[in-house]
Structure 1
Amino acid sequence: MTGFPQLQNTVLDTTDVRGLAEFYRQLLGLRYLPGDEPAPQGPDDADWLVLTDGQGRRQLAFQLVDRLERTTWPRPDVPMQLHLDFTVPDRQSLADQHARALGLGAELLLDRTDDPDEPLYVYADPAGHPFCIFVG
């Protein structure tokens, strides 16, 4: 064996592909893969979109599903199965990004900013996928 498979995308299911892609594009400062940008006018019926970083490396993808049951975390009824972790350098950045995340439509699930070793927030994105922002 000469190598290993390489991760191309982390794909999030959603009932609103453009809406969820826009949430993460704005939250993380990403760009659309060329050809995935919103159309200037007309209906947006995207069923698959990819966001990249400034060097064109794929970061997140979004695929359309008919139905998506939101996790009930921290209750175990519907487990989260996957979550995304994002870091910031300090507490002030954490407070700034907290305000941005809420302003973009994230739902706060857990505030653990009183933890002296690893202050963090846990959110649900607009589709219900959990993600964390913490001081790394």
Structure 2
Amino acid sequence: MTQYPQLLHTVLDTTRPRELAEFYRLLLGLTYRPGDEPPEDGTPDRPEWLVLRTSDGTNQLAFQRVERLPRTTWPAHDVPMQAHLDLTVPDSAELTRQRRRAEELGAELLLDRYDDPDEPLYVFADPSGHPFCIFVRTPA
């Protein structure tokens, strides 16, 4: 028995679960939980809930259908972020490569701090408008 609850995964609300799951599957190299894969026969796909996992089967992200999702207005505070994902890369060259990948997959650049000497980073919005950061990992 554990003394504390265990985090299962982070859930993102979206009006388009499959589209957002595909974005993160490709961005992060994740796989679908068995049974959550897109239909192979081309039948209409309107899932209410999807889960992505690491290659070893550890849940990472889940996507839950909602009817509407007001997009954050960050950095203005009219509609706050409420939550965001932080992703790291080992160096500036990889930061540049991942910026291109994120944008090719449909992310929108919200903030460019590539030249920040203390913490080079980019802040993006995913296709549903959730902010996420990619920054160079600093030694602990």
State the TM bucket, normalised to the shorter chain: over 0.9
* AA partner of residue 3 (structure 1): Q
Q: Root-mean-square deviation (CA), in Å?
A: 0.9
> What 5-or-longer segments of structure 2 have no aligned partner?
none
Counterparts of 2:100 and 2:126, CA distance in 1: 14
Per the alignment, residue 66 of structure 2 pairs with 65
SS, match of residue 73 in structure 2: coil
The structure 1 segments of at least 4 consecutive aligned residues displaced by more than 2 Å after TM superposition are none
Displacement of 1:92 in angstroms is 0.3
* AA partner of residue 86 (structure 2): D
Counterparts of 2:92 and 2:2, CA distance in 1: 43
Q: What TM-score, normalized to structure 2? A: 0.95
Displacement of 1:45 in angstroms is 1.3
> What 5-or-longer segments of structure 1 have no aligned partner?
none
Q: What TM-score, normalized to structure 1? A: 0.98
SS, match of residue 64 in structure 2: strand
Counterparts of 2:132 and 2:70, CA distance in 1: 16
Query: 1:1-136, aligned counterparts within 5 Å?
Result: 2-40=2-40, 41-136=42-137
SS, match of residue 37 in structure 2: coil
How many residues align? The count is 136
SS, match of residue 12 in structure 2: strand
